[in-house]
Structure formats: C-alpha cells, structure tokens
C-alpha cells in the first residue's frame, strides 16, 4: 500500500509549480518597484511552501512557514490583483489544518484568512462579495485539510493497534509455548527421573547383594555399570527438564564406562 503522504507532497509540489506559472503568466506590474516586489513575494511564498513540504515534523517552523506563505500570497494579491496569490493563501490554510492541533490551526488559519480576504476585497469592486468568496474558499480548503488530518490520524491509530495486537499475539504464543515446555518438563521429571532414580537404587541394592553372596565378579561389574548408566541417565534427564523449563543448560557430562 502506497503511503498517502508521498502523494500529498507530490501534489504540493505540483500545486506551487502551477501557481508560480500562473502568477508569472498573469502579467507583471508596470512599475519596476512593484515588479521587484512581486518576484520577492513569490520567492518567499515558494520558499515557505518548500519548508512546509520538507519539514512537517518541526511544528514551530512548519507553522511559521505556513503563515508566512499565506501572508506572501495575500501580499501577491495586492501587487497583482488579477493573479492567483489568493490560492497560495488557501494552500497555507490547508497545510495548517493538515498538521497542527485544531486550535493552533484555526488561529493561524484565521490570520491568513483575514490577510487574504482583505487583500482581495480592497482590490475588488465588490469588497463584501469578494471577502465572502475568500472565506468560503478558505473554509473549504481548511475542511479538506482537517479531513485529511483526521484520516491520517485514524490510519496511524489503526497501525498502532495492529502492531499492539501483533505484539500481544506473539506474547500469547510465547506464553503458550512456555506452558507446554513446563508441562513436558514436569511429566519427564515425574516419570523418567523418578523411574531412573528408583532403578539406580535397585541396582545399588543388587550390586551389594551380589557382592555379599559371592556372585560372579563379572556380574557384580555389570550391575555396577548398569547403576552408573542409570545415574548418568538421571543426570541427563534433569538437564533436559531444565532446558525445557528455560533454565541454563549445563555442560554435558560424559557417561561413565
């Protein structure tokens, strides 16, 4: 699944490029000072927007850059009334709604809205109508940015919940495996270790009896070997039980010959 943030950034680059072309194509003021001011304001708007696109995690810098971009767009509307500077203001409002907390975004967006609304209204033959149009446009872009922010937060929350669920499932599986190993260890201890322990005791008694009744020495030696094997088997069983329980596995002991 493609990251929506990548598409938002690409859309942001395309938008500022389109606005730049539109501003340059709309005609430049005849006055040299106004013409120079137009290029300066356009450069400020583009620079601020690039900061918005590239540094979204630095909230303070992001906020300042977005507000500066919006104010530059408002100033462009004053210098070039027939241009699209107001669109830059809309972009700034959407960016503020997309990344900032609601109150901060609303306050900063209101500053940009007032500036853009004033710039458009003061140059319009119908100031009230122009101001209302700017307010509606800014409101729409703010709502779009806020909706995108809510969608992003919901996606991040869902990803966090999925990660938490995966961690919980892994912990449950690990606990179940540990419980199964503990059960096997208990059964081995109850059956194998006890059996070998009893066998070792019986063989010790048989060896003692064989030695006191004058039995063949070879028989006594075989019983001794069997007793040693039983003891070694009991030690190996204890190590296996410890390993199943998760204890440190001691080094192997050599079987007695």
Q: Which tens digit of pLDDT belongs to each residue from 9-56?
A: 788 888 888 888 888 787 777 788 888 999 999 999 999 999 998 988
Q: What is the per-residue pLDDT for 96?
A: 92
| Least confident stretch, 13-22, 162-171, 184-193 | 184-193
- What's the total number of domains in the chain? 2
Give the pair of three-digit tokens for residue 155.
């996606």
- Structural domain including 33 reads 4-123
166 part of a folded domain: no
Which pLDDT tens digit goes with each residue over 97-127? 988 888 999 999 999 999 999 998 988 888 8
Contact of 134 with 121, CB cutoff 8 Å: yes
Contact of 103 with 84, CB cutoff 8 Å: no
Helix 59-79 vs helix 85-99: angle between axes, to the nearest 10 degrees? 160
149 part of a folded domain: no
CA proximity to 94, closest of 35, 144, 58: 144
CA proximity to 78, closest of 147, 23, 157: 23
Q: What is the per-residue pLDDT for 57?
A: 86
Cβ of 130: how many Cβ atoms within 10 Å? 19
CA distance 204 to 208: 6
- Of 93, 108, 123, which closes a domain? 123
DSSP state letter for 253: P
Q: What is the per-residue pLDDT for 159?
A: 87
50 part of a folded domain: yes
Q: Say what the pTM is.
A: 0.61
- Of 86, 104, 123, which closes a domain? 123
- Give the percent of the chain with pLDDT over 70: 91
- Tell me, yes or no, whether 47 and 119 share the same domain: yes
- Tell me, yes or no, whether 199 and 89 share the same domain: no
The helix/strand/coil state of 57 is coil
Q: What is the per-residue pLDDT for 255?
A: 40
151 part of a folded domain: no
- Of 123, 157, 190, which closes a domain? 123
């Amino acid at each position: 699944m493609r990251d929506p943030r990548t598409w938002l950034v690409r859309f942001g680059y395309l938008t500022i490029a389109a606005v730049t072309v539109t501003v340059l194509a709309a005609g430049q003021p005849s006055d040299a000072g106004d013409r120079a001011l137009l290029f300066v304001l356009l450069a400020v708007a583009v620079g601020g927007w690039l900061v918005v696109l590239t540094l979204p995690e630095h909230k303070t810098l992001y906020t300042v850059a977005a507000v500066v971009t919006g104010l530059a767009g408002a100033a462009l509307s004053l210098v070039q009334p027939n241009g699209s500077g107001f669109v830059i203001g809309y972009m700034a409002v959407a960016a503020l709604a997309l990344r900032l907390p609601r109150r901060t975004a609303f306050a900063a967006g209101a500053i940009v809205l007032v500036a853009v609304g004033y710039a458009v209204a003061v140059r319009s033959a119908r100031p009230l109508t122009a101001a209302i149009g700017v307010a509606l446009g800014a409101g729409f872009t703010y709502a779009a940015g806020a909706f995108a922010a809510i969608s992003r937060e919901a996606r991040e929350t869902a990803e966090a919940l999925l990660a938490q669920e995966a961690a919980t499932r892994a912990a449950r599986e690990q606990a179940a495996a540990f419980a199964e190993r503990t059960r096997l260890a208990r059964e081995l201890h109850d059956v194998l270790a006890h059996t070998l322990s009893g066998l070792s005791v019986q063989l010790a008694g048989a060896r003692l009896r064989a030695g006191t009744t004058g039995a063949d020495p070879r028989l006594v030696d075989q019983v001794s070997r069997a007793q040693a094997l039983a003891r070694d088997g009991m030690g190996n069983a204890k190590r296996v039980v410890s390993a199943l329980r998760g204890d440190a596995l001691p080094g192997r002991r050599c079987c007695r010959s």
